[in-house]
């Protein structure tokens, strides 16, 4: 068993801190909190707490009459998204540019706009197990935050899902990179997130007292390099990227 002063590291969901085998990233997260003196848990949003149906991309490609993968690249692969998640662009402009890229790929303009609207209006679902774990940890005394590579629409989207119990009625526990001005996996995103956590809690939290849950290996590794404990989350049965932010 590893003590609370063990060096932070990135944990695959299949491996605990003593190298025993897990099948559940939430078990690994729970172990970190129990054994490493964790003061704060930070969860990713998309692909962890909020999930989408990955089959939507096939539907959008069919709507636009474009080859497989075209809609995914037009939306989540658009370079403007880098600006949006850093607060230098808007969700509305991103949608316009995604539709334009679909047209360039061969879609009818009306079909392109309809497809982008369909994507933007796709309902998400909340992962109940992740939500329950985060609320359980908070009730037990661990501070809980959500760090997302998000847009200017995230607050209203979370309100529509009823996630105020996780991010707070006033959003104080939401760390939206569009507000922070830096996005994962940039080290500055983790530095600004930790600074915001300190302001909310009224005290500076050492990085080794933070545990992070994310479905991106790059983000997990980046968090570990910044001194956070980090767990890789993989939802069971997820084979393909869902309509989510990077």
| β-bridge mates for residue 232, sequence order | 214
Long-range contacts of 128-135 (CB under 8 A, 24+ apart): 129/26, 130/26, 130/43, 130/48, 130/49, 130/213, 130/233, 131/49, 131/163, 131/165, 131/166, 133/26, 133/29, 133/30, 134/41, 134/43, 134/49, 134/166, 135/165, 135/166
Average model confidence (pLDDT) across the chain: 90
152 confidence band (pLDDT: 50, 70, 90):
very high
- Read off the pLDDT band of 1 (50, 70, 90): very low
Q: In the predicted model, what is the mean pLDDT of residues 42-50?
A: 97
Question: What's the pTM value of the predicted model, to 2 decimals?
Answer: 0.89
How many alpha carbons lie under 13 Å from residue 78 in its C-beta half-sphere? 27
Residue 9 confidence (pLDDT)? 62
pLDDT in tens, 128-139: 999 999 999 999
Nearest to 205 by CA among 143, 123, 115, 133: 143
pLDDT at residue 17, as a whole number: 46
Topology, domain 10-50+124-232: Rossmann fold (3.40.50)
Mean pLDDT along residues 183-200:
98
Give the pLDDT band of residue 12 (cuts 50, 70, 90). low
Evaluate if residue 195 carries a pLDDT over 80.
yes
Q: Where are the domains of the chain?
A: 10-50+124-232, 54-120
What is the average per-residue pLDDT within 61-80?
Answer: 97
Give me the phi and psi of 203, to 5 degrees please.
-160, 150
- Region label for 136, one of left (φ > 0), alpha (ψ between -120 and 50) or beta (otherwise): alpha
Which of the four pLDDT bands, split at 50, 70 and 90, describes residue 123?
confident
pLDDT band at 21 (very low <50, low <70, confident <90, very high): very low
Kindly tell me if the per-residue pLDDT of 113 is higher than 90.
yes
Q: What is the percentage of the chain residues whose pLDDT exceeds 70?
A: 86
Rounded to an integer, the average pLDDT of 10-31 is 67
Tokens of 97: 């540019």
**pLDDT digits over 199-225, tens only?**
999 999 999 999 999 999 999 999 999
Token pair, residue 53, equals 């149906």
- The whole-number pLDDT of residue 234 equals 85
Average pLDDT over residues 1-9: 54
Choose between 236 and 218: higher pLDDT.
218
């Amino acid at each position: 068993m590893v003590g609370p002063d063990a060096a932070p590291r990135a944990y695959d969901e299949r491996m605990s801190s003593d190298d025993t085998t897990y099948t559940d990233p939430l078990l690994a997260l729970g172990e970190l909190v129990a054994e490493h003196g964790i003061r704060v848990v930070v969860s990713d949003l998309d692909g962890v707490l909020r999930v989408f149906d990955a089959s939507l991309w096939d539907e959008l490609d069919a709507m636009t009459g474009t080859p497989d993968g075209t809609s995914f690249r037009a939306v989540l692969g658009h370079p403007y998204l880098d600006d949006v998640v850093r607060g230098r662009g808007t969700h509305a402009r991103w949608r316009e540019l995604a539709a334009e890229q679909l047209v360039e790929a061969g879609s009818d303009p009306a079909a392109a706009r309809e497809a982008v609207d369909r994507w933007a209006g796709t309902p998400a679902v909340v992962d109940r197990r992740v939500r329950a774990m985060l609320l359980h940890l908070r009730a037990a005394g661990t501070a809980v935050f959500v760090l997302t590579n998000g847009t200017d629409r995230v607050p209203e989207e979370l309100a529509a899902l009823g996630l105020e119990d996780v991010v707070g009625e006033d959003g104080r526990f939401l760390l939206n990179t569009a507000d922070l001005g830096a996005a994962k996996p940039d080290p500055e995103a983790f530095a600004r997130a930790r600074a915001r956590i300190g302001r909310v809690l009224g005290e500076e939290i050492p990085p080794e007292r933070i545990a992070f849950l994310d479905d991106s290996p790059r983000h997990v590794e980046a968090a570990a390099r910044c001194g956070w404990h980090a767990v890789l989350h993989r939802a069971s049965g997820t084979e393909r990227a869902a309509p989510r932010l990077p």
